[in-house]
Homo-oligomer: A and B are copies of this chain.
Amino acid sequence: MAVISTSAVDAYIEKHSRRFVDELKELCSFPSISNHGRDAVQPARDWLADRLGRYTDRVETLEAGGMPALYAEVPGAGRRKLLLYEHYDVQPVDPVDLWDSPPFEPSEKDGRIVARGVADDKADVMARIHALETLKQLGEVPVTLRFLIEGEEEIGSKTFEKIAHDHAAKLSADGCLWESGTSFDDAGRPTLQFGCRGLVYVTLRVKLLDFDQHSGFASIYPSAPMYLVGALASLRDQDMNIKIEGFYDKVVNPTESDRRMMAGIDPEVEKRRKLVGFEKLVRDPKADQVIEQMLFLPTCNIAGITTGYQGPGSKTVLPAEATAKLDFRLIPDQDPDEVLELLRKHLDRHGFEKVEILAGEGEKPARSDPASAVARTVIECVREMHGEPVLWPFMPATGPMHPVVADLGIPTVLPVGVGRPDNRIHAPNENIRAADYINTVRLMCRIWERFGAG
């Protein structure tokens, strides 16, 4: 198998870079908001199926009752197989009046491309298709590629686990390149991650009266807000010590390798303080403990509380009902279903059995070995292109990575892509640098060549 020269690859990409950017913009013009339902995402998926159909006849949709995923296999020259995970769905655009240009009419300004979904995650989708084009035009693809482009990442990947299990054989591979996360930190250093935290999202609801009462009756009628406050206060303290019995049982400690990686991450405490305005961090950690705490401390977070009168001035009311939204970030090897059970038991045991738990999303945490073949390949290629990468054992956020990493057993890396702190993902004026996009195509070609040669 012939390795294509880096200079030939770079020359091809350079020559076609204007068209590459235009085609990324074309993909971004589809309003594939998964929150708007199946009809909303189909045109983008059809367009992608057509594009991938240029290189393989093995294109199909995989579905399990939610938004269909797009799958395509491109046989390669080498023996190795690589799974490529991305998603073609995007977040809603509200508040739309804060956009400087219409979110689905991609525009360019000062070297940036602005469009909903351009950073999260259409640049990854399209860069991998352009890398495929590049290598095919210049010769052979050295590794068998298995594209898996999900359609409901932005609404919690509810059927992703089932899709992964149902099609385990199709998805099996020697490594997986996940969608890229934050690829460069504020100082411009490239960053790589090897997993993500899990999530449990619940709404807690308490209703103790049939309707709101005059607050004079608070002497005799029970208070739903106070009951909810009592339940919430029982869950954790201000230092994020979570008091749910058994909650920490499955939390792993950092390994020596994790500690080495984390020692290379700048905690940027003063920069964060200036940006975010906190007075003290939770637990007031020493600087060299901040990153470990950020990653390895599971959370119980109040995302919202609603009850009673919330307008201006006063209203003396005893509210009939109160609700809170909570999210828990889980650390390997915590399990969302087990955490839900522990939460129920805790509430019952502490006299809060009238708190209803309305379960929402749940995703398992996932971590992959940073010394796997695919991880080593990505680290090497990033080092060559962008300098020494900062390595994160896993990212503080959540993704549907567990079925791939744990159930299918595929070593997984979040490679470098277009992600920078100022991308405004999920927000108005989402954008990327066009140069980052072209570099992502280049890096992808390099990784595939290198991994295929292994």
Chain A residues within CB distance 8 Å of chain B:
156, 197, 199, 201, 208-211, 213-223, 225-227, 229-230, 232-233, 236-238, 240, 275-282, 285, 290, 293-295, 297-310, 313-320, 322, 325, 327, 329, 351, 360-361, 395-398
Contact B221 A282 (CB under 8 A): yes
Contact B302 A229 (CB under 8 A): yes
Contact A361 B303 (CB under 8 A): no
Contact A305 B225 (CB under 8 A): yes
Distance of A294 from chain B, by nearest CB (Å) = 5
Contact A361 B276 (CB under 8 A): no
Contact A302 B293 (CB under 8 A): no
Task: Report the separation of the CA atoms of residues A240 and B199 in the bound assembly, to the nearest whole angstrom.
Answer: 35
> A304-B308, A360-B314 known; A222 and B299 CB under 8 Å?
no
> A218-B329, A222-B238, A278-B222 known; A305 and B302 CB under 8 Å?
no
Task: Report the separation of the CA atoms of residues A300 and B226 in the bound assembly, to the nearest whole angstrom.
Answer: 10
Choice from B223, B304, B318, B396 contacting A216 with Cβ under 8 Å: B396
Contact B209 A276 (CB under 8 A): yes
Which residues of chain B have C-beta atoms less than 8 A from A233's C-beta?
229-230, 232-233
Task: Report the separation of the CA atoms of residues A179 and B300 in the bound assembly, to the nearest whole angstrom.
Answer: 51
Contact B308 A305 (CB under 8 A): yes
The main secondary structure of chain A at its interface with chain B is: mixed
Which residues of chain B have C-beta atoms less than 8 A from A293's C-beta?
219-220
Which residues of chain B have C-beta atoms less than 8 A from A396's C-beta?
216-217, 219
Which residues of chain B have C-beta atoms less than 8 A from A221's C-beta?
276, 278, 281-282
Contact A218 B278 (CB under 8 A): no
Residue of B nearest to A316 (CB): B327
Question: Which of A222, A299, A325, A351 has the most B CB atoms < 10 Å from its CB?
Answer: A325
Contact B282 A302 (CB under 8 A): no
Which residues of chain B have C-beta atoms less than 8 A from A329's C-beta?
215-216, 218-219
Distance of A192 from chain B, by nearest CB (Å) = 18
Which residues of chain B have C-beta atoms less than 8 A from A229's C-beta?
229, 232-233, 302, 305
A216-B398, A220-B294 provided; 7 other pairs, C-beta below 8 A? A209-B276, A215-B303, A217-B396, A218-B282, A303-B314, A305-B310, A316-B398
Task: Report the separation of the CA atoms of residues A240 and B310 in the bound assembly, to the nearest whole angstrom.
Answer: 23
Choice from B211, B299, B306, B319 contacting A302 with Cβ under 8 Å: B319
Which residues of chain B have C-beta atoms less than 8 A from A397's C-beta?
214, 216
Question: Which of A215, A223, A278, A316 has the most B CB atoms < 10 Å from its CB?
Answer: A215
Choice from B208, B290, B301, B314 contacting A218 with Cβ under 8 Å: B301
Contact B305 A306 (CB under 8 A): yes
Contact B309 A303 (CB under 8 A): yes
Contact A213 B276 (CB under 8 A): yes
Choice from B210, B216, B240, B278 contacting A277 with Cβ under 8 Å: B210
Which residues of chain B have C-beta atoms less than 8 A from A360's C-beta?
313-314
Task: Report the separation of the CA atoms of residues A217 and B299 in the bound assembly, to the nearest whole angstrom.
Answer: 9
Contact A306 B310 (CB under 8 A): yes
Counting from the closest, the 4 A-B pairs by CB-CB distance are: A210-B277, A304-B308, A233-B233, A225-B302
Task: Report the separation of the CA atoms of residues A156 and B316 in the bound assembly, to the nearest whole angstrom.
Answer: 11
Task: Report the separation of the CA atoms of residues A317 and B326 in the bound assembly, to the nearest whole angstrom.
Answer: 9
Which residues of chain B have C-beta atoms less than 8 A from A226's C-beta?
232, 236, 238, 302
Residue of B nearest to A234 (CB): B233
Distance of A244 from chain B, by nearest CB (Å) = 14
Which residues of chain B have C-beta atoms less than 8 A from A322's C-beta?
305
Contact A299 B230 (CB under 8 A): no
Distance of A354 from chain B, by nearest CB (Å) = 8
Residue of B nearest to A35 (CB): B313
Distance of A296 from chain B, by nearest CB (Å) = 8
Contact B316 A303 (CB under 8 A): yes
Contact B361 A220 (CB under 8 A): no
